[in-house]
């Protein structure tokens, strides 16, 4: 699919790693014009369509009304479909959605543990991270261990998996929890290959290497 | 063997939209209720729901197995003609966005219902805030579609089903819990939303389902 340069994008979010790393990578991989703004919070809450961020605003060059979209994974899927990073086949697309939603589910739980949830949540997190790693590895093996989740090129889930791990690892260097350090020891070669491909992708590496705290991700 | 197997617990909310989509599609399907936690490790990612699309009689093909509520819902909807204009990525994005808002409302409800006493006030406010934003935005979208009891077009599509299944489930769970919370999505407060729920309730394929939830 040809990349469109007709639209300009604004993304409203907080100035953190957060859940929008996959969106940032999709923008970069799609070579679109985009900018990120960080509204004052909570002052700007009521002005957002659903009282939350991220919010995507797409301005078309033809002057038609702006397209405003909320919900981080919906924004991801919109961009992934528009710029050719989602497969057209329904089952393959469903598999991408499944992998992404699994990452997000574990990401939400990881955030609860970060905020002080108890031992039961920590145990569930350790269990689900194990399941996530083994399931993602299985899909990668079925795809011939190409270092991509689908075919031989950068796909939506390559980028979202990078974003998922970056969020899990986003702790001050002096207070990295044990379960986070343990994750690095559980990464399979298949997953490491995907992350390596993302980190070295021509369109992504300037952004990725600009933050030495997270590069390389599996140091 | 039924073309579809849906594995879920015998409680409402997360698996409901998939059940309703299967009923509407007229497909042959069955519900499996795994023993929990005994059957947890046997699931692809240790969670429910799981959708299994069995291969046709006599075929060697492996079944297609899918997890994650949203992925299952979209797959079933797309397969059975319940996505509005599926080739229009802008409209697909809007449908997924609205679906996500409704799912977030249900998560906020579950968080409130399962939380400890000291968390109650904060999570109740969080639910009320989410409900407020949902009513504000969705009532507007429904009016923009002509107040015809549907989110898109003039027939039941995915978001109508998501709203129906989730709100019916919430009402069942809310019954007797907290009148203030139930009022947030009442006919008085959210007339267009309730018209959608009533329209889906009237689908002939859902007669038995609706009767069971009353």
Same domain, B17 and B121: no
How is residue A148 annotated by DSSP?
Answer: S
Query: For position B150, which CATH number holds?
Result: 1.20.1050.10
Q: Residue B57 belongs to what domain range?
A: 4-79
pLDDT band (50, 70, 90) for residue A188: very high
How many Cβ contacts (< 8 angstroms) between chains A and B? 78
Query: For position B17, which CATH number holds?
Result: 3.40.30.10
Is residue B84 domain-resident?
no
Rounded to an integer, the average pLDDT of A173-188 is: 84
Asked if A77's CB is within 8 angstroms of B101's CB, the reply is no
Q: What is the pLDDT of residue A3?
A: 44
Same domain, B147 and B67: no
Same domain, B70 and B116: no
Where a domain ends, among B55, B79, B103?
Answer: B79
Distance set, CA B62 to CA A89, B55, B57, B211 (Å) = 17, 7, 12, 36
Query: Lowest-confidence range among A45-49, A194-198, B14-18, B199-203?
Result: B14-18
Which residues 34-63 in chain A show a CB within 8 A of chain B? 49-52
How is residue B153 annotated by DSSP?
Answer: T
Distance of alpha carbon B51 from alpha carbon A99, whole angstroms: 14
Which of A81, A101, A80, A197 is CA-nearest to residue A140? A197
Is residue B21 domain-resident?
yes
Alpha-carbon dihedral of residues B179, B183, B186, B191, nearest 10 degrees? 170
- As for how many domains chain B has, the answer is 2
How many beta carbons lie within 10 A of that of residue A115, not counting itself?
Answer: 8
ipTM of the complex: 0.93
Is residue B206 domain-resident?
yes
Asked if B96's CB is within 8 angstroms of A71's CB, the reply is yes
Same domain, B15 and B61: yes
Asked if B100's CB is within 8 angstroms of A71's CB, the reply is yes
Where a domain ends, among B44, B61, B79?
Answer: B79
Which of A160, A141, A169 is CA-nearest to residue A204? A160
Distance of alpha carbon B35 from alpha carbon B9, whole angstroms: 9
Same domain, B125 and B208: yes
* Tens-place pLDDT, residues A45-97: 999 999 999 999 999 988 899 999 999 999 999 999 999 999 999 999 999 99
3-state secondary structure of A67: strand
Same domain, B59 and B121: no
Where a domain ends, among B37, B57, B79?
Answer: B79
Same domain, B8 and B94: no
Same domain, B127 and B75: no
How many beta carbons lie within 10 A of that of residue A175, not counting itself?
Answer: 7
Distance of alpha carbon A77 from alpha carbon B93, whole angstroms: 7
Contact residues, chain A, for B158 at CB < 8 Å: none
pLDDT band (50, 70, 90) for residue A2: very low
Q: What is the pTM of this model?
A: 0.94
Contact residues, chain B, for A131 at CB < 8 Å: 45-47
Is residue A112 less than 8 Å (CB to CB) from chain B? no
Same domain, B106 and B73: no
Q: Which helix (H) or strand (E) holds B27?
A: none
The CA angle B95-B72-A122, to the nearest 5 degrees, is 105
* Tens-place pLDDT, residues B159-191: 999 999 999 888 887 777 777 777 899 999 999
């Amino acid at each position: 699919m040809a990349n469109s340069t007709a639209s300009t994008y604004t993304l409203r979010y907080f100035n953190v790693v957060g859940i929008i790393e996959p969106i940032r990578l999709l923008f970069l991989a799609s070579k679109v014009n985009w900018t990120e703004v960080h509204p004052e919070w909570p002052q700007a809450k009521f002005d957002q369509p659903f009282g939350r961020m991220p919010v995507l605003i797409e301005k078309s060059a033809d002057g038609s009304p702006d397209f405003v979209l909320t919900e981080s994974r919906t924004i991801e899927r919109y961009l992934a479909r528009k710029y050719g990073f989602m497969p057209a086949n329904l089952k393959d697309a469903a598999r991408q959605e499944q992998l992404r939603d699994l990452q997000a589910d574990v990401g939400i739980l990881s955030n609860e543990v970060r905020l002080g949830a108890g031992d039961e949540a920590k145990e569930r997190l350790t269990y689900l991270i194990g399941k996530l790693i083994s399931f993602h590895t299985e899909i990668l093996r079925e795809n011939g261990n190409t270092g991509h989740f689908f075919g031989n090129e950068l796909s939506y889930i390559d980028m979202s998996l990078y974003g998922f791990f970056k969020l899990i690892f986003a702790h001050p260097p002096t207070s990295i929890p044990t379960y986070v350090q343990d994750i690095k020891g559980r990464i399979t070669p298949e997953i490491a290959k995907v992350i390596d491909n993302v980190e070295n992708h021509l369109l992504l590496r300037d952004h990725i290497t600009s933050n030495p705290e997270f590069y390389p991700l599996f140091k | 063997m039924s073309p579809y197997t849906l594995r879920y617990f015998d409680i409402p909310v997360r698996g409901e939209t998939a059940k309703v989509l299967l009923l509407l599609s007229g497909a042959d399907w069955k519900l499996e209720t795994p023993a929990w936690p005994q059957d947890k490790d046997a699931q692809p990612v240790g969670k429910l729901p799981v959708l299994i699309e069995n291969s046709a009689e006599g075929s060697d093909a492996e079944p297609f197995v899918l997890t994650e509520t949203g992925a299952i819902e979209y797959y079933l909807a797309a397969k059975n003609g319940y996505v509005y204009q599926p080739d229009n990525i802008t409209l697909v994005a809007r449908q997924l966005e609205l679906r996500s808002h409704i799912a977030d409302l249900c998560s906020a409800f579950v968080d409130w219902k399962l939380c400890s006493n000291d968390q109650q006030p904060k999570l109740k406010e969080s639910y009320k805030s989410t409900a407020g934003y949902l009513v504000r935005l969705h009532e507007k979208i429904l009016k923009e579609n002509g107040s015809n009891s549907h989110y898109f077009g003039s027939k039941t599509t995915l978001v109508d089903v998501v709203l129906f299944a989730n709100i019916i489930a919430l009402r069942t769970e809310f019954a007797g819990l907290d009148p203030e919370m139930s009022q947030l999505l009442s006919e008085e407060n959210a007339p267009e939303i309730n018209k959608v729920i009533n329209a889906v309730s009237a689908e002939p394929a859902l007669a038995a389902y609706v009767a069971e939830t009353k």
